[in-house]
Amino acid sequence: MPMALSDRAADDLRFIRDAVAHAGAFTSVSGAGMIAVGALGLAASAAASPLMLATDPRRFLAVWIAAAVLAGAVSWITIRRKAKRAGQSLVDGPARRFALAFAPALVAGAVLTVAFVATGQSALLPGTWLSLYGAAVTAGGAFSVRPVPIMGCAFLGLGALCFAVPVQAQQLILAAGFGGLHLSFGYQITRHYGG
């Protein structure tokens, strides 16, 4: 029995909507890369104790900067690999929009990190990092797959929580964010969005 014209039109419209949505989305965010970044976040949390933040903020900062540099390298390599498999450009279209939305909050985080360390306000670092990373991920995620902006909002929530707890508890929140959120959302992206 032939398909009714209205059913065929509805199917065609659905196909067009999906094609337009995927054409504008940066789909090369790597779940495997996120899982690796989560492992680095947990390692940094273990290496930089809450006591270190209070007694030796420069050493605390060195541990987290090393983790951030490694995480950035892992992310770049895995995103590049996934983009190549999918035939997605990393210099224009959705990837460019993602990067332009993602970068400003990271730059703000770097500026505030320097200012807080220079003025002896290192206790503000965990909440600031989580909040601004969340803002970066949420903004970039507007051009990506659905779990990415949701993860960004979760980071924003943990950042706000960090400002409400004593410095000793902030390490657990850093681990939950940079470790736990990356692991769980990385798993979802690996499972549902092609790796």
Q: Mind listing the pLDDT tens digit of every residue in the chain (195 residues)?
A: 556 666 776 776 666 555 554 456 788 889 999 999 999 999 999 998 767 887 888 899 999 999 999 999 999 999 999 989 888 888 888 888 989 999 999 999 999 999 999 999 988 999 999 999 999 999 998 888 899 999 999 999 999 999 999 988 898 999 999 999 999 999 999 999 887
Asked if 61 and 114 count as a contact pair (C-beta separation under 8 A), the reply is: no
Provide φ and ψ at 26, rounded to 5°. Answer: -85, 100
- Max CA separation in the chain (angstroms): 77
CA 29, CA 143: separation in Å to the nearest integer? Answer: 11
Convert the pLDDT of each residue in 101-111 to its tens digit: 999 999 999 99
Query: The tokens of 147 are what?
Result: 């779990």
Convert the pLDDT of each residue in 26-61 to its tens digit: 888 899 999 999 999 999 999 987 678 878 888 999
CA 27, CA 75: separation in Å to the nearest integer? Answer: 14
